[in-house]
Structure 1
């Protein structure tokens, strides 16, 4: 047995010492089977693990995650884990499991080659240690590694027991409470205000029966050419260049003609179900468009920002270079998110703007309908 270290001032590596991340990568490069059981993971580490498995052609892999079933899991991390699980199952090489019988806080790693044990690690390093980022860059960890077959097998036996159905299940076969992450795409944006939780509760208590469910019209998947450059994917339309955040929500006539639908070009204040406030209006020919009034990107930052926060898509800096449409919002993506429409609901309240104008207040909703979610501390 020997120790694996972090390399952080003032405790820099000394001669003969090795970091956890360096040893992990070396062992993975010499293995064809990898099994892991940790308490916590990060989105970045899941993506890094997928790359390590692919680059080293590992053909048997299992990740067991121990703390989230009872504590709740950040939604971005959850969707990244589900994506990893789908990729491994499709390739027939492994799965991601969640321990449900108890809170498992151990950190175990085993590496095999042609069924022979190569290395086993036990210590304080969660999976995030394989991809350092701001949150753990100054976090000092120590683990122990063994290359003795009998000791590796002992570690492997614990992981095997954690994989039993009485201890864990595949991540897509159980319900995990999700911790809703803050939509940071609206932070410090002009014309947008963050409301307090008490204010948000007051708006929710004063909603009326005047409510409209507005579908988000998107392609079924990334290969579907329909709706590819319209509505919330208008940035992919030919012609005028638009930034990725810009959206145009086109509302069907069957909804616009319902009693109580907002009047043409009469601004109102929208308060979102995740606590943002900005001006909205209906405009365009036959009143068909629902826009954020002061900047079309605001509505996009609210809708697409929720999908970014949930880990389902990454924002695109230059849409013209996204030839594979990785930033396109699709029906498959909305299904994973748990919502394919926004709800616009009138309240009984009014607000006075800075220039003294009185406006109606409406609620906008786009949180997953059936998700058991907690809110991340903002």
Structure 2
């Protein structure tokens, strides 16, 4: 069974660094119609309160986009992703010039990993839906990321593979949200880091 440590120690076949574009506290407080559509972690605030299915807009929906990367697998070639918090999911890259990481079976899993970590550290309040955040206290700002000690995500293609339901070997990528203010041990003690992933994570 793969472990987070094995993936961290694996040679990086490809590394994508994704800077997190977020507003400042002052911008959130003073700009009435602040455009958050290009802010990966705050994209949920730029969407209607109800989605196309009539469901409330989730607080955990994020948009992980980047440009300038080449030699990425095509949309049809999905792969497995481990987060440094222990989540496992299937993903693919979509888009042309601007690429987006799509967790196509669970669109909330990436946002849950990031935002629940910030909730555990009491950097942001706990919300489930955007409509609950009357004062935009859940908008992630530059100052919040400074408190966390990290303002980027790192997506690394490892040398590891995982067989899917049809026994086809799929590449495994590691998704990290590094912090200079908190050690891996501290994050682990907060229940946000799993070293041995259960088989159920791959279903």
TM-score range (shorter-chain normalised) is: 0.7 to 0.9
SS at match of 1:301: helix
* 1:275 to 2:83 alignment: no
CA 1:356 to 1:266, structure 2 compared with 1: closer, same or farther past 3 Å? same
SS at match of 1:329: coil
Runs of 5+ in structure 1 lacking a partner? 1-195
Q: Aligned to 2:36, which of 207, 224, 228?
A: 228
Q: Aligned to 1:320, which of 131, 139, 152?
A: 131
* 1:205 to 2:9 alignment: yes
Write the deviation string for residues 225-275 of structure 1: whole angstroms up to 9, x where unpaired: 555244221221143632101111121x23x24xx4443342111112232
Deviation, structure 1 residue 278 = 1.3
CA 1:292 to 1:285, structure 2 compared with 1: closer, same or farther past 3 Å? same
- CA RMSD between the two structures: 2.4
CA 1:283 to 1:240, structure 2 compared with 1: closer, same or farther past 3 Å? farther
1:237 aligned partner: 46
Instruction: Give the structure with higher Rg (CA).
Output: 1
* 1:376 to 2:189 alignment: yes
SS at match of 1:356: coil
TM-score (norm: length of structure 2): 0.76
SS at match of 1:327: coil
Tell me how many residue pairs correspond in the alignment: 178
SS at match of 1:336: helix
Q: How does 1:1-378 map to 2 (within 5 A)?
A: 199-221=3-25, 222-223=28-29, 225=31, 226-230=34-38, 231-239=40-48, 241=50, 242-251=57-66, 253-254=67-68, 256-257=69-70, 260-369=71-180, 371-374=182-185, 375-376=188-189
Give the distance between the partners of 1:216 and 1:280, measured in 2 at CA.
20
Greater share of residues in helix: 1
CA 1:321 to 1:348, structure 2 compared with 1: closer, same or farther past 3 Å? closer
Greater share of residues in strand: 1
Deviation, structure 1 residue 289 = 1.1
